[in-house]
Chains A and B, each alone.
Chain A
């Protein structure tokens, strides 16, 4: 089975540019999560969706960050304008129905973002 697919794997761009990260969850999973991982703060939840609807976006750091899930098989995380402090590894994860009964989250391999 295909796992969670993220693209691009690496992104290097200049400060002020728009950055779009993409995620394809595992087919049939109806929960989708966006995380950010840094050495200083570890793995932090940014936002999560259930059935394409955002449920909790309290972890989104500022208005420069936005996330969408137009359908069950695709989600984007956008940063506009980007800043050097946004440099991190961004992970997408998905989980099936039954997540609230402790089905685990399955992670993609992340996008390593560097803002110069």
Chain B
């Protein structure tokens, strides 16, 4: 069964303290891995798509990387406004689930000033 596991469940950082969030997956035929940010009371907001192992993407203080088994979301010198829940999701190839995204449980990030 396809699985997506995110760790840690919650992460508390001081402003400026860099760290990484992990998303590990066991799927057959990965077609894409997505990172989203979700603020309280809001829907998930798209951040990145990664397609293949070795790929990296950056946006402001965030950098996403992908290997064959996991993805990391690196946060450099975070600010309090980076506090949110970060979700990763995978899309697999083939079958009627071709368009389906499977989400992880998310990592709740809190950045203290």
Contact = CB atoms under 8 A, between A and B. Distances in A.
Interface residues of A, number: 24
B46 A105 contact: yes
A43 B87 contact: yes
Nearest to A35: B103
Query: Which one of A31, A50, A109 has the highest number of Cβ atoms from chain B below 10 Å of its Cβ?
Result: A109
**A interface, by DSSP: helix, strand, loop or mixed?**
strand
A42 B104 contact: yes
B91 A42 contact: no
Nearest to B100: A45
Interface string A103-116: 01111111000000
A17 B94 CA distance: 38
Contacts of B44: 43, 91, 107
Given A43-B87, A102-B32, A104-B34, A56 B45 contact: no
Given A102-B32, A104-B34, A93 B43 contact: yes
B54 interface: no
Nearest to A110: B43
Contacts of B43: 4, 91, 93, 107-110
B73 to A, nearest CB: 15
Nearest to B93: A100
Interface residues of B, number: 26
Contacts of A48: 99-100
A58 B34 contact: no
Contacts of B32: 102
A45 B43 CA distance: 14
B1 to A, nearest CB: 13
Given A4-B43, A102-B31, A109-B43, A56 B100 contact: yes
B106 A42 contact: yes
Interface string B36-54: 1000011111100101000
**Which of B43, B96, B102, B103 has the most C-beta atoms of chain A within 10 angstroms of its own C-beta?**
B43
Given A43-B44, A55-B96, 5 more contacts: A56-B97, A58-B97, A93-B43, A105-B34, A108-B43
